[in-house]
């Protein structure tokens, strides 16, 4: 149990002690610094001036890490909601609807903490110098290694959780945030981020997502489910936050049609989707919408979706929608726009078999139909009477379309 009571100094099992250490719980910074004692069984902060102390057993510490936000210190994520009368009233009501005060009272007895998956408390220990901070981190690693049930990684930058315990919060303890890549992203985020864009993300959510992005850039495995639990965000909020940080940090990777088809499992429509996208770009450009950013994944995703429908492959809309980065209402609007585009293209091309394949196809087909219609009236215009010019119309049209496809592929390859 987490124990709250009067100030005291432990006498047994002390691994490390430091004075002049500030304590911040959630949004509340306790004005008076106190003494920190790391023992074999718990982390103890005691303030003589306030005559108050808090003792946290190591199993309650889900994560500890060196952090530069809100100030340089040792961050801890506790898997219990704490209410400390006079110091910390608990997290906001919207994030603590089912929480109950876990620790109340004036004595050292304390109360058992009521825990749920969403019951978490953020805490920072801020020493007087960086040297003491490094000593605190090393001592805390040692304490957790001595504590029964603690699973401590030997890697100071990343923690390799065991596969059978990936869903446990403790599997990501000792994740040090000053690892080279994660720290680089954090500092860049502090420089580039604006209060408006990042207002929905807390400090620890930002740190967790930065580690996620760093792992992705370095090709390291990362458990997103555990990250969402630690960040305190729901799946949608985490995904939106990750995309926001990708944009702010300018590391967002634009997915192409090929990657989308592979991930969704519809590689057979890749060529059709690529052709449709090129045709749509021409169509949108003719409408005077020159400012459209076709690099946005919504267009590639919709091209794959429409290609599936045209080839009578059941389009996996639920899988495709996340790739588009659109809300359902926005997706519906884009789908209607594409249906309008396809209807116009189908009308220009005639039979259903002559699918819209791009401007080159339409121009050649239209030119061929015109020549076929006017071909019988002027024999003088024909310099060479070849069998190809008197072949059946459908055969000629099929040949012309095949030729157009080849030319289109050559144009795309040279571009």
> What residues make up the domain containing 242?
180-249
- How many Cα neighbours within 13 Å face the side chain of 153? 18
Q: What is the DSSP letter of 157?
A: S
Helices (H) then strands (E): counts for the chain: 13, 9
Q: CA-to-CA distance for 362 and 270, rounded, in angstroms?
A: 21
* Secondary element (H or E) of residue 35: strand 34-39
Task: Output the pLDDT for position 161.
Answer: 38
Using alpha carbons only, what angle is made at residue 232 by residues 230 and 235, rounded to the nearest 5 degrees?
A: 100
Residue 261 lies in a domain: yes
Domain edge (last residue) among 152, 172, 200: 152
Once rounded to an integer, what is the mean pLDDT over residues 382-405? 69
19 to each of 30, 37, 157, 280, 326, how far by Cα in Å?
15, 9, 27, 67, 52
Q: Identify whether the C-beta of residue 401 lies closer than 8 Å to the C-beta of residue 368.
A: no
Residue 162 lies in a domain: no
The alpha carbon of residue 399 and the mean position of all alpha carbons in its chain are separated, in whole angstroms, by: 47
**267 shares a domain with 239:** no
Query: Mean pLDDT of all residues in the chain?
Result: 73
Task: Output the pLDDT for position 96.
Answer: 42
Can you give the CATH number for the domain in which 83 is found?
2.30.29.30
Task: Output the pLDDT for position 369.
Answer: 58
**Hey, is 81 helix, strand or coil?**
coil
pLDDT, one tens digit per residue, over 323-333 is 887 888 888 88
Using alpha carbons only, what angle is made at residue 188 by residues 201 and 128, rounded to the nearest 5 degrees?
A: 80
Task: Output the pLDDT for position 288.
Answer: 54
Once rounded to an integer, what is the mean pLDDT over residues 72-95? 79
**133 shares a domain with 91:** yes
Q: CA-to-CA distance for 300 and 254, rounded, in angstroms?
A: 10
pLDDT, one tens digit per residue, over 188-206 is 666 656 544 555 677 778 8
Once rounded to an integer, what is the mean pLDDT over residues 264-280? 89
Can you give the CATH number for the domain in which 306 is found?
1.10.472.10
Confidence band, pLDDT 50/70/90 cuts, at residue 127 = very high
Domain edge (last residue) among 152, 167, 199: 152
The total of structural domains in the chain comes to 4
Q: CA-to-CA distance for 153 and 165, rounded, in angstroms?
A: 13
What DSSP line would sit under 171-218, residue for residue?
Answer: GGTT--TTSHHHHHHHHHHHHH--HHHHTTS-HHHHHHHHHHHHHHHH
Of 108, 107, 125, give the one whose Cα is nearest residue 61.
Answer: 125
Residue 165 lies in a domain: no
């Amino acid at each position: 149990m987490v124990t709250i009571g009067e100030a005291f100094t432990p006498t047994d099992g002390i691994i490390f002690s430091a004075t002049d250490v500030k304590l911040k719980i959630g949004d509340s910074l306790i004005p008076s610094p106190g003494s920190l004692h790391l023992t074999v069984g718990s982390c103890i902060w005691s303030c003589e001036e306030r005559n108050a102390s808090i003792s946290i057993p190591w199993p309650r510490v889900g994560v500890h890490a060196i952090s530069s936000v809100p100030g340089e210190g040792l961050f801890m994520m506790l898997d219990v909601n704490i209410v400390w009368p006079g110091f910390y009233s608990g997290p906001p009501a919207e994030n603590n609807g089912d929480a109950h005060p876990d620790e109340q009272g004036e004595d050292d007895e304390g109360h058992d903490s009521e825990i749920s998956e969403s019951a978490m408390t953020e805490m920072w220990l801020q020493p007087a110098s960086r040297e003491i901070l490094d000593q605190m981190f090393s001592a805390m690693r040692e304490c957790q290694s001595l504590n029964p049930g603690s699973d401590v990684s030997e890697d100071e930058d990343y923690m390799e959780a065991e596969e059978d315990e990936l869903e446990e919060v403790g599997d990501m303890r000792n994740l040090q945030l000053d690892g080279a890549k994660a720290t680089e992203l954090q500092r860049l985020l502090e420089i580039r981020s604006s209060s408006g864009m990042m207002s929905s993300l807390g400090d620890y959510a930002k740190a967790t997502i930065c580690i996620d992005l760093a792992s992705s850039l370095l090709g390291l495995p990362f458990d997103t489910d555990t990250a969402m639990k630690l960040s305190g965000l729901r799946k949608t909020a985490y995904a939106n936050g990750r995309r926001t940080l990708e944009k702010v940090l300018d590391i967002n990777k634009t997915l192409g049609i090929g990657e989308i088809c592979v991930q969704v499992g519809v590689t057979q429509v890749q060529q059709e989707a690529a052709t449709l996208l090129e045709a749509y770009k021409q169509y949108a450009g003719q409408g005077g919408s020159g400012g459209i950013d076709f690099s946005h994944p919504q267009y590639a995703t919709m091209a794959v979706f429409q290609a599936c429908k045209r080839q009578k492959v059941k389009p996996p809309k639920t899988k495709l929608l996340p790739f588009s980065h659109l809300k359902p209402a926005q997706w519906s609007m884009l789908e209607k726009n594409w249906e309008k585009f396809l209807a116009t293209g189908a009308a220009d091309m005639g039979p259903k078999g002559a699918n819209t394949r791009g401007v080159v196809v339409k121009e050649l087909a239209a030119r061929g139909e015109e020549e076929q219609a006017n071909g019988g009236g002027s024999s003088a215009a024909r310099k060479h009477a070849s069998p190809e010019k008197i072949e059946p119309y459908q055969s000629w049209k099929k040949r012309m379309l095949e030729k157009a496809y080849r030319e289109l592929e050559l144009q795309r390859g040279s571009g």
